[in-house]
Structure 1
Amino acid sequence: MKKFIGISILAILLGFSSANAQDTTKKVTTKVKEGVVKAGNKTAELASKGKNAITDKIYKDKEGPNGETIYINKHSKYYWIDKKGHKVPISKNKLRSKQ
C-alpha cells in the first residue's frame, strides 16, 4: 500500500511539473516570436531608409508632424518611412519647418 501511495504522489507531481513546463515553453515561444517580429521590423525600416536616402532626395528644411525625415521621389511626391519600413505619403501642407 505504501508503494502505491508513493507512486501516486510521484505521478501527480510529474503531472504538475509537465503542465508547468508546457506553460513556460509557451511563454518563451511567445517572447521569441515578439522579438523576431521586432527585429524584422527594425531591419525593414533601416533597409528602406538606406535605400530611399540613396535613390530619393531628402527634404532638408522640412520634417513630418512627429519629426520624421521627409523624402521626395522622382515624381515630386513627399513621404516618410514608418517603423515597419513602409512609405507613408504626406501632403506638402502637413510638413513643418525644422527647428
Structure 2
Amino acid sequence: MNTMRKIQLLLFAAAIGICATLAATESRGQGIDTAVKKVGKTGKKIGQKTASVAVKGASRITDNVYKGKVGPDGQTVYINKKDRKYYVDEKGKKIYLKESELRDKPEE
C-alpha cells in the first residue's frame, strides 16, 4: 500500500511539473513574439525613414526645387524633367501634385 501511495504522489508531482513547464514555455513564447513585433516595427520605421532621406537626396540632385511653393502640408516640392511637380512622403514615395494642390510658401 505504501508503494501505491508513492506512485500516486510521483505521478501527481510529474503532472504538476509538466503543467508548470507548459505554462512557462507559453508565456516565454509570448514575450519573444512581442519582442520580435517591436523589433519588426522599429526596423520598418527605420527603413521608411532611410528610403525617404535617400529619395529626397536624389531628388535634390536630379530635379529642381520649386522655390515659391510647398506641398499640401508644407513639404518641399520638386520639379522633374517632364515638368511634373511632386513631394516625397515619410515612406520615401513620390507623390505627384496638381497645380491646384500647390500652396504659396509662407514668409519666414
Return the TM-score normalized by structure 1. 0.92
Equivalence for 2:3: none
Q: 1:18 aligns with which of 6, 25, 33?
A: 25
> Percentage identity across aligned positions?
33
* RMSD across aligned positions (CA): 1.1
SS in 1 for 2:91: coil
Following TM superposition, by how much is the alpha carbon of 1:30 offset from its aligned partner in structure 2, in angstroms? 1.3
SS in 1 for 2:77: strand
Structure 1: which 5+ runs fail to align? none
**Residue 68 of structure 2 is aligned to residue 61 of structure 1:** yes
Distance 1:12 1:76 in 2: 69
Following TM superposition, by how much is the alpha carbon of 1:28 offset from its aligned partner in structure 2, in angstroms? 1.2
Structure 2: which 5+ runs fail to align? 1-7
Q: 1:78 aligns with which of 85, 93, 107?
A: 85
Following TM superposition, by how much is the alpha carbon of 1:74 offset from its aligned partner in structure 2, in angstroms? 1.4
Q: 2:16 aligns with which of 2, 9, 17?
A: 9
Distance 2:15 2:81 in 1: 75
Q: Deviations over 1:24-72 (max 9, x none)?
A: 1111111111111111111100000001011111111110111111001
Equivalence for 2:4: none
Following TM superposition, by how much is the alpha carbon of 1:3 offset from its aligned partner in structure 2, in angstroms? 2.7
Structure ID, larger Rg: 2
Equivalence for 2:94: 87
Return the TM-score normalized by structure 2. 0.85
SS in 1 for 2:92: coil
